[in-house]
Each structure stands twice: as structure tokens, then as C-alpha cells.
Amino acid sequence: MSEAPDKFRRYLVPVEHLRLPDEPDLVHLSVYQWESRWGEFVTDLALCGRSAEQGALPDGTAVTCPECLHYQPKYQTALDLQAGLTRGSVHAPAAQDALHEQVRAAVKAAGLKQVWIAERLGITPKHLSQLLTGRVPLSLDWADRILALCGKRVRVVVEAIQAPKEASR
């Protein structure tokens, strides 16, 4: 990374394949994050699920794993959302927070157990909890699926932004 990474963000970085006899010679992508237990940044599995050598390769290293490249846009979007970076609107984090809050309130008001909801949605209770608490982004599609089990639906309202009136024109 050309500049010092932020310890509170996660990044996608190129990583070397694990040097095993049958492992293809590919450069993968992995999530790079601060690990306070070790006092340093670490990498995880490659996005494609393969094991990789620990540590990021230099900036500009070309990623050659087609599966990692396939997953890169989805991971980058999720990491940007987690970091509070927005695409197109400075109000996206507030809207996302409101969506999480309203879906959580609907689940509570319906008196439904998260385990029951997760079973019907075909996801783990842990993933449902992450969706409801904001640990992972909650798409309108997932919000609609959860709310349908609560007897509700998503309604999106677009409002004009009121610009302050100018004193003179």
C-alpha cells in the first residue's frame, strides 16, 4: 500500500499462493486487516477460498486468479460500505442505519425468533444477526425478505433535498 493503512479499515490486497505441490501458481486477492493480538496487519484466505501465504504483495502486483477477480467487486463494495465510504450519496450510511433499525424493530414487534427467521431464509442465525445489527450491509432485497416474514414490506421514499434559500439572486 502506498500510504499507511488505517487500522480501522479492511483492504483487498494481492497475496501469493500457498507453496504446496498441487497448488496453481496464481496471485490471489485477500482481505488485509489490523490484528491487535499480533500488533500487525494480516491477510486471510484468498477470496476464492484457497490458502495463501501471509502478507500482502507489493502495490501493483497483478492478480492472476480468475475466481478472486470475479469476487473482487462484491468484496470491494462490502468493504467500502463497512468503512463508511459511499458511492454517490453522502446520506447512504444514515439510510443504511435507518434500514437496519427499522428491520430490527419489525422483527421485535412481530415477536419472531431470529433462529426461526434464519431457517426460513436459508441462512445461519449468525449471518441474520450480522444483517440486523449492521455488521454486514443489509440490501433492500434481504430487508424485504426479512420483513415479509414479519408481515411487512419495504417502501422506499425519495425526497427532495431542501437547499437553503439565498439572500439575493
Is residue 2 a part of any domain in this protein?
Answer: no
Tell me what pLDDT residue 36 has.
85
Is residue 4 a part of any domain in this protein?
Answer: no
CA end-to-end span of the chain, whole Å? 48
Taking alpha carbons only, the member of 17, 104, 108, 132 closest to residue 65 is 17
The band of 32, judged by pLDDT with boundaries at 50, 70 and 90, is: very high
- 92 and 36 belong to one structural domain: no
Residue at which a domain ends, from 49, 82, 115:
82
pLDDT, one tens digit per residue, over 121-139 is 998 999 898 888 887 888 8
Tell me what pLDDT residue 163 has.
63
pLDDT, one tens digit per residue, over 54-100 is 999 998 899 999 999 999 988 888 888 777 654 444 445 677 788 88
More confident residue, 118 or 92: 118
Is residue 3 a part of any domain in this protein?
Answer: no
Is residue 77 a part of any domain in this protein?
Answer: yes
- Please tell me the distance from the alpha carbon of residue 95 to that of residue 25, in angstroms, as a whole number: 43
Tell me what pLDDT residue 168 has.
52
List Cβ<8 Å contacts ≥24 apart for 113-120. 117/146, 117/149, 120/149
- 92 and 126 belong to one structural domain: yes
- 49 and 125 belong to one structural domain: no
| Cell numbers representing residue 31 in the block | 482481505
Kindly report the pTM of this predicted structure.
0.50
Output the domain CATH number for residue 117. 1.10.260.40
Domain that holds residue 100: 86-169
Q: Which residues of 104-120 are buried (b: 16+ CB within 10 A; e: fewer)?
A: bebbeeeebeeeebbee
More confident residue, 107 or 6: 107
- 90 and 71 belong to one structural domain: no
Tell me what pLDDT residue 90 has.
42
| Average pLDDT value for the chain | 85
